[in-house]
Amino acid sequence: MSDVTTAATDQDVAPFQHLHPLSIILRSVGTLAQNLFAILVLHFSLFDQNIFYTGLAAMALVALVVGVTALIWSRFTYQVTEREIRIRSGLLNRNSRSIPFDRIQDVSLEQKLVSRLLGLATVALETGSGGGEDGQLDALARTDAEALRDTIRDYKDGLDADAAPTEVRSTAADSPPLFAMDNRRILIAGLFNFSFVLLAILGAIAQNLDFLLPDGFFDPRNWLDALPEQETIDGFSSWARIGGAGAAILSLVAVGLVSGIVRTFVREYGFRLDKVDSGQPGFRRRRGLFTLTDMVMPIHRVQAAILQTGPVRERYGWYHLKFTSLAGDANGETDHSAAPCAMLAEIDPILEDCAIHQPSADLAFQPVHAAFWWRSTILVSLTLAAIALGAGSVLHQGFFAILLLAVPISLIHYLNWRHHQYALSDSQLFVRAGWWWRRLTIVPRRKIQTIDVSQSPLDHPLDLATLTIGIAGGSASRPVMIKAIELQQAMDLRRRLLSQNWLPALA
């Protein structure tokens, strides 16, 4: 009876509220931007470039989008009680959802560029049930969003939100961060994040707007014929043409570097990682140029640490620290950046807060079987030989040059084998993988959920196996694996990982 009375009191004290009215404009603008391409198609096709009909269609679209968006906004309400958040939504099919504070694991704030200018924020709630976000309030005033996040954190810490002194929170925001990146550090990180995303965007735009381009625009022969000095080009020597090809490759490399820098700058601008001690201890990460994200990752949900680097980055001492967490973002990604471009000395304090440690200097890493590289090399070489033989015999003898690819591929497999190692300490498992994209995964033994020992048809003749380490929140596409390990060695390692003898070492 008391529970019913309390629930009724909560509902009377906390009425249902609407989202900020400006969310109607934000959603309408986003929907109209997605349908702008359709208006252009109608203008050049059905309306035969008649600006009057196009204008009428555009006004009708604006009225329809704004009207439907306003109706959806009026039917979306939420209520914050002392113990839960209730969300009501739906036009025809009404949906009422309750999210208890006890079930909420993470609360993150996100501000896109327009939302930042208007002082709005999106609140994303994650309960750990899988599939990314479990509830979203888009959009609230920034102060209301922060107050809601603090209310949830204070409840989980057993505090009264009204009694929590605001001076403490403001002082915590001004305290030195655990890790931060200025523009110079972001530039360094961008140099190592080579990307062709700019070329992909330009290609997608050209493909969708090809009806606006002249015929034969993508045919290189038309461009060659249009050059006034066509005879001069035809008279170039083979070395000059090779130099031109080299210049084209360098141009692609330059575009990749610029794309990586721009992409990194947009994502990591203003990166700041703080330690949060109120509520559930965790890490608060803020970053983003156009879209500002503000998320808190509880420390107890961290399952493993990942140190990423490369031959060049490692030479200069740069690493990328990620945490595998039970918390997932909007895209379902569970590997969260904690320090995108940091030195080992800057990473150590962050790992220390999670009771995770880097491998000691005297820890011996064990290599895997050499079949890791020569077996893959033989398979790739046979495949290339079959392709070269078929294409060279039927199409042109120049295809026999495909066999030359076996040399660099064999070298890459060999280097990957040299860098695929593992080690076991009293409380942690260390797994190294990759030569160019080097990855050191540190898994606390207490976080290991499952250990699978599997053998492929190629493993049986050599008595080898693959050890797959299962951790909560781990990536299904990139699990922690030790490949090409002897079967008996794999069984012994699994038994050691599942044993409880390491527990006293944590005391």
| 5/72 Cα distance (integer angstroms) | 32
pTM of this prediction?
0.79
Phi, psi of 489 (to 5 degrees): -65, -40
How many CA within 13 A on the CB side of residue 323?
29
Q: Which amino acid is it at 353?
A: D
- Regarding predicted confidence, which is higher, 329 or 451? 451
In which band, very low, low, confident or very high, does the pLDDT at 480 lie, cut at 50, 70 and 90? very high
Q: How far apart are CA 430 and CA 473, in angstroms?
A: 18
pLDDT of residue 403: 87
The reported pLDDT for the residue numbered 213 is 55
Apex 106 CA angle, 300 and 327, nearest 5:
65
| CATH numeric code, 366-506 | 2.30.29.30
User: What does the domain layout of the chain look like in residue ranges?
Assistant: 197-267, 366-506
Give the mean pLDDT of the chain.
81
pLDDT at 477: 58
Of residues 45 and 394, which shows the higher confidence score? 394
The pLDDT of residue 28 is above 70? yes
Mapped onto helix, strand or coil, the DSSP state of residue 179 is strand
299-342: pLDDT as tens digits: 888 999 999 999 999 999 999 999 998 765 555 556 889 999 99
- The 10 Å CB-count burial string (b at 16+, else e) for 146-180 is bebbbbbbbbbeeeeeeebeeeeeeeeeeeeebbb
pLDDT of residue 493: 94
> Minimum mean pLDDT among 113-127, 214-228, 307-321, 492-506: which range?
214-228
Query: Is 57 in contact with 45 (CB distance < 8 Å)?
Result: no
Torsion angle (degrees, nearest 10) of CA 493, 496, 499, 503: -130
Model pLDDT, residue 367: 96
Report the pLDDT value the prediction gives residue 417, as an integer from 0 to 100.
96
pLDDT classification of 390: cutoffs 50, 70, 90: confident
pLDDT surpasses 60 at 211 = no
Q: 117 pLDDT band (50/70/90 cuts)? A: confident
Alpha carbons 76 and 17: distance in angstroms, whole number:
8
Name residue, tokens 């969260």.
336
pLDDT number for residue 304: 94
Reduce the DSSP state of residue 215 to 3 states and report it. coil
Residue 150 has pLDDT above 70, yes or no: yes
For residue 241, pLDDT beyond 70: no
pLDDT band at 220 (very low <50, low <70, confident <90, very high): low
pLDDT of residue 7: 44
In the structure, what pLDDT confidence band is assigned to residue 200 with cuts at 50, 70 and 90?
low
